[in-house]
Chains A and B, each alone.
Chain A
Amino acid sequence: MKKVMMGTEAAALAAKLARVQVVSAYPITPQTVTVEELAEIIGRGDLEAKYINVESEHSAMASCIGAAATGARAFTATSSQGLALMHEVLHYASGARMPIVMVNANRALTPPWNLYCDHTDSLSQRDTGWIQYYCADVQDVMDSVIIGYRVAESVLLPVMINLDAFYLTHTSELLEIPDQKEVDDFLPPYHPSEKLDVDDPRTFGNVCGSDLYSSFKFNRHKTMLNVVDRWNEAAAEFELKFGRRHEVIEKKHTEDADILIIGIGTASGAISLSVDQLRHEGIAAGSLRLSMIRPFPVRFLQEAVGGKSKIIVVDRDVSFGAEGIIAQEVKAALFGASSDVEVHGFVSGIGGNDITADSIVQLVRQTISGSGMAVQAGNSLWTEVLP
């Protein structure tokens, strides 16, 4: 069935199709529509689930962890400050191997107050052990929540599905809604082997000495490294069933490209369009969208970059005193693998500034000519800054 809906509505409907059993959430712009929609769905009786109203995002995640520990499929959604408030329990969720799926609306962190798109909120939770997926369009939101549960429950790690504030949360698009029966086939009920059960008491999250601690962490790291393949396997199966592909990276004209433009989230749409414009001008450009940031798809990136002379990374985020976070990730992934490629990192579109095909073309021109509007600071070039 085709429908027109916003990213936030698609996220809520995807949670319903995934037959989540516990929703615990606290409202925050621009995610609020998702949890409101779910409250209505559950209130109408369209989904048999427990909806827990909590007093903060920290409690929202804490109750999702509790729910997941009992073997329930748990869902929450948040954004920006709310995600930051969850920080402590994000580590707990992944450490306790809880297959929670959380939708995060990428919104700028305060101060100054800003409700618009920025990726620093989720990227600053990069090291909490969560799988991080960044959506490009509304269909991607719908499908990746469903694939997310499938992967999360197979590897016992939580998944964060990220969607750009307003560019995705509040943009209506036409999308295909998967059939409930087919979703049920793709995503069978979750039955963990170990769970909290009063009739079968076990201990979870106990004290652990240094003798075992490393092994727990090592296992988690190894599992995480495999997630790139697990995700692509699940995505392949999803494609077989539903005809849509959502892999860890998405490429366009990369084979014969000399300049490769890398971005995440909705900006990848503008980047893709800019590649058409640049090709029309005779510039051999290609685009690469990193839909997965954790685990980082190192091997796929290395393959795509081979033989290119220049890479442009568009970051809607920054690590102060270093550079754009994705630019750092790309450099780290290419270190030793591709010695003669130049990496140009741009910090662009933060705080909701628009990234358009034209603005990407400008970045490429600046990269080729060496001069343009973007201002250099350290290793990053910033656009949209006052003189």
Chain B
Amino acid sequence: MQPKNTINCLADMPVMPLTIGTMEWNQTGTWRYLTPTASNKIPPCRADCPAGMPIPDFINALKSKGDTEALAVIMRQNPLPGLTGRLCYHPCQPKCIRRTYDDSIQIQRIERYVSNCDRLESNAIDENGSVKIAVFGAGPLGLACAYFLGLNGFGVSVIDAAQEAGGALLKVPVEKLDPKVRVKEIDRMVSIAGLNLNLGQTDLAGRMTTIENDYDIVVVDPTSVEHAEQKTLNPDNFDPLSSTSVVTKKVVITLPGKLLPFKPAMIAHYIGIGHLAANHISDFIKKDPALSCGLTDLKEHVAKERVKLDDGVSAGSGLLKGSREKEWSEEQVMMEAERCLSCGTCNVCGQCVQYCPEASIQIHDSLKFDLFHCKGCGICAYECPRGVITMEDDKP
């Protein structure tokens, strides 16, 4: 949009009295070569979340609509918030912009509180129920992969030799993780995604061929107890972080060395990779990404390995001793949630309006720039506390 009124010489200027509103004739938008654009961005906390959790979104949902709605927002991206809320090394928190003012938001505390909510109904869709998928192993990665496939409407069975679901999670000491929490978390995700749990299965290796014939797709989980040590090279091996697409019906998921053996603190990584694998498998099945139910492409977030852990060294084993942390009260959690600046998401705070020297920004439900008068100075983009406004080059 280019202004129409341009002033090329003094004679072009209209005669005008000294009043308030009369400078509008001077459409200074012609001076602009950078145009402010407001669009929600991925906030730094989410960018560094290995599971790609929409952190400001769930905190906003908690503040405005309550914990059930907040849990629903989380569950779109993370099936096990009660576990990530306890075990994860929370790489989100050191990136929190709020730390530049006082302290980072205790995101994990809020997440843990929201995960305690027990009112959430299934929102699985029954679209591709005729497609049958078997996931070998009920470890966190396998469960996450099964969960997102289930959310896509596929008929998913999780098969494990153990009597309980959890795979490598079963080995986490009780001082670190209350087994009741694990059971509750897995029960919830199983019910939401409509999964079929086949536990306590014997002679899985022998029955593999039969099972492969019974199911359209077979997925092997590296975080289950039986498959944790599996390192044999196999033509079916699939690394969701580096492979671009699934090509075979049997998908043996492999992980980079630093994620093996299973490290509880890195649970969000396993969830993120499980999600990514589910997306690849969905694409393989549907051959049409447009039908993949609006799932976020997580590859970028999951691929970000900011924390380097040496192979074979357990993540902070000292943390596993002593007693578990105490839960926060609702009041504490809500006060913490209030501190969130909701970075990346415009919450029409009006800071840009206050600072715009040309009064070229109006707020109704969203930001609206008056491009006839905006000179493109960029003060709005500089002042936006959430990084929502960016200056874009006008020239094609």
A355 at the interface (CB under 8 A from B): yes
Could you say which residues of chain A place their CB within 8 Å of the CB of B21? Answer: 354, 356
* In the complex, per-residue mask of B1-42: 1 if CB is within 8 Å of any chain A CB, else 0: 000000000000001111111100000000000000000000
State the CA gap A252–B6 with chains docked (Å): 30
A9 at the interface (CB under 8 A from B): no
State the CA gap A272–B15 with chains docked (Å): 10
A269 at the interface (CB under 8 A from B): yes
State the CA gap A168–B19 with chains docked (Å): 9
Interface size class of A (residues with CB under 8 A): 10 to 19
* In the complex, per-residue mask of A331-365: 1 if CB is within 8 Å of any chain B CB, else 0: 00000000000000000000000111100000000
Contact A137 B18, beta carbon cutoff 8 Å: yes
Contact A273 B18, beta carbon cutoff 8 Å: no
State the CA gap A272–B17 with chains docked (Å): 8
State the CA gap A130–B18 with chains docked (Å): 26
CB contacts under 8 Å to B, within A264-284, are 266-273
Could you say which residues of chain B place their CB within 8 Å of the CB of A266? Answer: 17-19
State the CA gap A270–B20 with chains docked (Å): 11
State the CA gap A267–B22 with chains docked (Å): 13
What are 22 A-to-B residue pairs whose CB atoms are below 8 Å? A137-B18, A167-B18, A167-B20, A168-B18, A171-B18, A266-B17, A267-B17, A268-B17, A269-B17, A269-B18, A270-B17, A270-B18, A270-B19, A271-B17, A272-B17, A273-B15, A273-B17, A354-B20, A354-B21, A356-B20, A356-B22, A357-B19
A57 at the interface (CB under 8 A from B): no
Could you say which residues of chain B place their CB within 8 Å of the CB of A137? Answer: 18
- Which of B18, B19, B21, B22 lies at the interface centre, i.e. has the most chain A CB atoms within 10 A of its CB? B18
Minimum distance in angstroms from A266 CB to a CB of chain B: 4
State the CA gap A357–B22 with chains docked (Å): 10
**Ordered nearest first, which 4 A-B pairs have the shortest CB separation?**
A269-B17, A270-B17, A266-B18, A354-B20
Could you say which residues of chain B place their CB within 8 Å of the CB of A315? Answer: none
- Which of B15, B16, B17, B22 lies at the interface centre, i.e. has the most chain A CB atoms within 10 A of its CB? B17
State the CA gap A272–B18 with chains docked (Å): 11
State the CA gap A168–B15 with chains docked (Å): 16
Could you say which residues of chain A place their CB within 8 Å of the CB of B16? Answer: 269, 273
A153 at the interface (CB under 8 A from B): no
Contact A356 B17, beta carbon cutoff 8 Å: yes
Could you say which residues of chain B place their CB within 8 Å of the CB of A269? Answer: 16-19
State the CA gap A267–B18 with chains docked (Å): 7
Could you say which residues of chain A place their CB within 8 Å of the CB of B22? Answer: 356
> Closest A-chain residue to B17, C-beta based?
A269
State the CA gap A268–B18 with chains docked (Å): 9
Contact B18 A357, beta carbon cutoff 8 Å: no
Contact B18 A164, beta carbon cutoff 8 Å: yes
Could you say which residues of chain B place their CB within 8 Å of the CB of A167? Answer: 18-20
> Closest B-chain residue to A274, C-beta based?
B17
State the CA gap A137–B15 with chains docked (Å): 13
Minimum distance in angstroms from A297 CB to a CB of chain B: 22
> Closest A-chain residue to B15, C-beta based?
A273
* In the complex, per-residue mask of B274-306: 1 if CB is within 8 Å of any chain A CB, else 0: 000000000000000000000000000000000
State the CA gap A355–B18 with chains docked (Å): 9
Could you say which residues of chain B place their CB within 8 Å of the CB of A273? Answer: 15-17
> Closest A-chain residue to B14, C-beta based?
A273
- 4 other contacts beyond A266-B19, A356-B21, A357-B19, with CB at 8 A cut-off? A137-B18, A167-B18, A273-B16, A355-B19
Could you say which residues of chain A place their CB within 8 Å of the CB of B18? Answer: 137, 164, 167-168, 171, 266, 269-270
Minimum distance in angstroms from B9 CB to a CB of chain A: 14
CB contacts under 8 Å to B, within A154-202, are 164, 167-168, 171
State the CA gap A269–B19 with chains docked (Å): 9
Could you say which residues of chain A place their CB within 8 Å of the CB of B20? Answer: 167, 354, 356
Minimum distance in angstroms from B317 CB to a CB of chain A: 65
Minimum distance in angstroms from B315 CB to a CB of chain A: 61
> Closest B-chain residue to A271, C-beta based?
B17
Minimum distance in angstroms from A224 CB to a CB of chain B: 29
> Closest B-chain residue to A354, C-beta based?
B20
State the CA gap A356–B17 with chains docked (Å): 8
State the CA gap A168–B20 with chains docked (Å): 11
